[in-house]
Amino acid sequence: MIAEPLLAWYDRHARVLPWRSPPGAAPPAPYAVWLSEVMLQQTTVAAVKPYFERFLARWPSVQALAAADDAEVMTAWAGLGYYSRARNLLACARAVVREHGGQFPGSVGALRKLPGVGEYTSAAIASIAFAEPAAVVDGNVERVISRLFALADKRDVRERAAALTPPERPGDYAQAMMDLGATICTPRRPACALCPVQSNCRAFALGTPEAFPVKLAKAPKPERRGIAFWAEADGHVLLVRRPAKRLLGGMRALPTSAWGEAPSMDDAPLATDWRLLDAPVRHVFTHFALDLSIAIALTERVNTDGEWWPIDRIAEAGLPTVFDKAARAAMASAMDLPC
């Protein structure tokens, strides 16, 4: 119903992205599709582009990535967020090499069995890299389908999406739907006048596109508090590795207290004279919001768990965003410390 006008529009207006082939061209390598789709989960196209290009230059094949050092990959991922994706990225690359001879499988079913590859990602890889007419439903597509059919219930989206997906050019169709959602059928003020499927759109006919998808009231996120410790000695700061199974597992970080209702200075990594800064750093994770107070101290380079990292190379430590914010706050205040 909508494939023909949508593909004609895509042929003229497709976004040029480093992981894509032009409309109608041979599909991109499955490795590039997979890498980009994992990076794009919960992350914007603009943020992903430089990471994708760096990863592809550093690890140009799934074999190269499978052989990579875990810590190097985690460092390269720093700043992109949702770090379990980086761990799954490595696990998936190794599974493709070990179980599939270094070739990504081409069906949704086999892709789903790979670490970190869920319903959406498997459908995206199958359709874009292998021309399987799988229904690809991300947030953008969900919005477009909800509006096309003026759906009151988002649970109906997948069935409608599957019925719309054409057998011809399914990869281009999937990317056209993503582009339509990202550039025309936007969450607010969709550009219906420019929309190639306007004549098929029920929400447009009703005059209420923004009423779809129907929104449910969101529960507020739980609040947690913590303390990050900036121990500075001789131009170095004490960094630790986060425990593998915890949030931000495997990443370099400042030592912290436990995160909860009442963080304790007893969790400090060194017994020294700590000064607590006035303003905490706030960071919102998927499931909770964190107010991270900063404790700073000038100390000596004693032997302790962790590593003393040169402060003038802090940007190379690969700190996740929350600790990058904390480090900046600490550095701005450490200058005021008495020597």
Specify the residue, 149 or 259, whose C-beta has the smaller distance to ligand SF4: 149
**Rg, Å, the chain Cα set:** 24
**How many angstroms from the chain centroid is the CA of residue 121?**
13
Specify the residue, 143 or 242, whose C-beta has the smaller distance to ligand SF4: 143
Q: Is 284 helix (H, G, I), strand (E, B) or coil?
A: strand
Which of 81, 133, 170, 190 touches ligand SF4 by CB under 6 A?
A: 190
198 binds ligand SF4 (CB under 6 A): yes
Q: How far is the CB of 306 from ligand SF4 (least distance, A)?
A: 51
User: Which one of the listed residues 4, 37, 232, 316 is annotated catalytic?
Assistant: 37
Contact 222, 267 (CB under 8 A): no
185 binds ligand SF4 (CB under 6 A): yes
66 binds ligand SF4 (CB under 6 A): no
Which of 184, 228, 297, 334 touches ligand SF4 by CB under 6 A?
A: 184
Which of 31, 59, 204, 309 touches ligand SF4 by CB under 6 A?
A: 204
In this structure, the chain runs to a length of: 339
b or e along 293-323 (b: 16 or more beta carbons within 10 Å of the residue's beta carbon)? bbbbbbbeeeeeebebbebeebeebbbbebb
Q: Which helix (H) or strand (E) holds 295?
A: strand 289-298
Specify the residue, 94 or 154, whose C-beta has the smaller distance to ligand SF4: 154
Which of 39, 135, 197, 253 touches ligand SF4 by CB under 6 A?
A: 197
176 binds ligand SF4 (CB under 6 A): no
User: Percent helix, strand and coil across the chain, each rounded to 5?
Assistant: 45, 10, 40
The stretch near ligand SF4 (CB under 6 A) out of 32-40, 63-71, 202-210, 307-315 is 202-210
Specify the residue, 3 or 185, whose C-beta has the smaller distance to ligand SF4: 185
2 binds ligand SF4 (CB under 6 A): no
The closest of 313, 311, 317 to 242, measured between CA atoms, is 317
The three state secondary structure string of 224-272 is EEEEEEEEEECCEEEEEECCCCCCCCCCEECCECCCECCCCHHHCCCCC
136 binds ligand SF4 (CB under 6 A): no
Q: Is 25 helix (H, G, I), strand (E, B) or coil?
A: coil
Tell me if residue 99 is catalytic.
Answer: no
Q: How far is the CB of 23 from ligand SF4 (least distance, A)?
A: 19
Contact footprint for ligand SF4 (CB under 6 A): 144, 147-148, 184-185, 190, 192, 195, 197-198, 201, 203-204, 209
